[in-house]
Homo-oligomer: A and B are copies of this chain.
Amino acid sequence: MKVIPIVALTLGLLATAAGATEPTWRALPARAPEPASNPSTPAKVELGKMLFFDPRFSETGTVSCASCHNVMEGGDDHRPVSIGVHGQKGGRSAPTVWNAAFLSAQFWDGRAATLEDQAKGPVVNPVEMGMKDLPAAMDRIRRIDGYRPHFTDAFGAGDVVTIENAAKALAAYERTLITPGSAYDRYAAGEHSALSPKQLSGLRAFASVGCAACHQGPNFSGPELPGGTPFLMKFPTFTSSPYVASYNLAADQGRFESTGRDADRHLWRVPTLRNLVYTAPYMHNGSVKTLPDAVRVMASAQLNRTLSDAEVTDIVAFLEALTGPFPDQMMPRLPPTPGDLLL
């Protein structure tokens, strides 16, 4: 995985220093990008949805991807940090799975290059799904006979019930979890009345204050970088912000925690701002409860700005225009369990 933290950081600061030139407002594409190695098919998407909702390949049989990424709501779990097997708490707030397909790298620190890679992480994280290793997880899936025809439909004959194919199916499903068509997207597509006057004020404030320097592009998660290249920023940038202490924003050193490289201290992948209405509480540690407070914290810690109440409410109104619409989804049908799977 190539990383370009220095370039990205410079880009962000330059844009801010230049007074945040008016960005080009672009709508979210109707389809997420797919890697050539994993073209989406309906069979793959359906299998991926089954796996996404299946708690049986967590150690206790109680935690699925959907447990912490609830796609019936905001694609996260409305908790500061998630709870995995045996009541254990995670270290960071679950990021939303909605529109993750538009990110150039996954996890809060961008350590997974693709959705396919990301899918294998939580299964074997001891405080998340808690499986001993990936072969043990696949053994669970193989012992559920009813999965085999779905793998065959998606990947053909032969030895196809593999972790690589399970990850491909999950990624294909996640590429359907996108929300083009929000009020903002309709505005960006030329429907000028789609945003209220207050939301338009918010859009202008979002740009002029400097939010758009990092939260740019149709997904508000940065420029379109090559797959596997995370768009990283330092957070907090202004450590003198009073919020850094009050919300404990610097305790977790971000990408450094997984790479151990000094240059990665406090670097984080810039998250999407879509569907924030649904993803409280905010920040990597889930410490900020409301959207207005999240706006104040970011302005202070990243831009050294104290916003007026009017700026905050306008920006929040704009962020609310980045909500949904969420696609209708049928529930998957999961195949039956052999009685000794979880004893």
A residues lining the B interface (CB < 8 Å): 53, 55-56, 60-62, 67, 70-74, 77-80, 83, 85-88, 277-278, 280-282, 288-291, 326, 328-343
Bound complex: CA A328 to CA B77 (Å) = 25
Bound complex: CA A289 to CA B339 (Å) = 4
Bound complex: CA A313 to CA B62 (Å) = 31
A72 and B334 within 8 A (CB)? yes
B340 and A72 within 8 A (CB)? no
Residues of B within 8 Å of A343, CB to CB, are 80, 281, 289
B339 and A281 within 8 A (CB)? yes
Residues of B within 8 Å of A337, CB to CB, are 73-74, 78, 278, 280
Bound complex: CA A55 to CA B64 (Å) = 14
In the assembled complex, the CB of A246 is this many whole angstroms from the nearest CB of chain B, namely: 14
Copy count, this protein chain: 2
B288 and A339 within 8 A (CB)? yes
Most buried by B among A80, A290, A339: A339
Bound complex: CA A332 to CA B80 (Å) = 23
Bound complex: CA A328 to CA B333 (Å) = 9
- A56 contact from B53, B61, B67, B78, Cβ within 8 A: B78
A-B contacts, 6 of them at CB < 8 A, read A56-B78, A60-B79, A78-B337, A277-B336, A278-B336, A329-B330
Most buried by B among A70, A72, A289, A326: A72
A333 and B72 within 8 A (CB)? yes
- A79 contact from B61, B83, B335, Cβ within 8 A: B61
Residues of B within 8 Å of A67, CB to CB, are 62
In the assembled complex, the CB of A278 is this many whole angstroms from the nearest CB of chain B, namely: 4
B282 and A339 within 8 A (CB)? yes
B340 and A289 within 8 A (CB)? yes
In the assembled complex, the CB of A274 is this many whole angstroms from the nearest CB of chain B, namely: 13
Q: Which residue of B lies closest to A289 (CB)?
A: B339
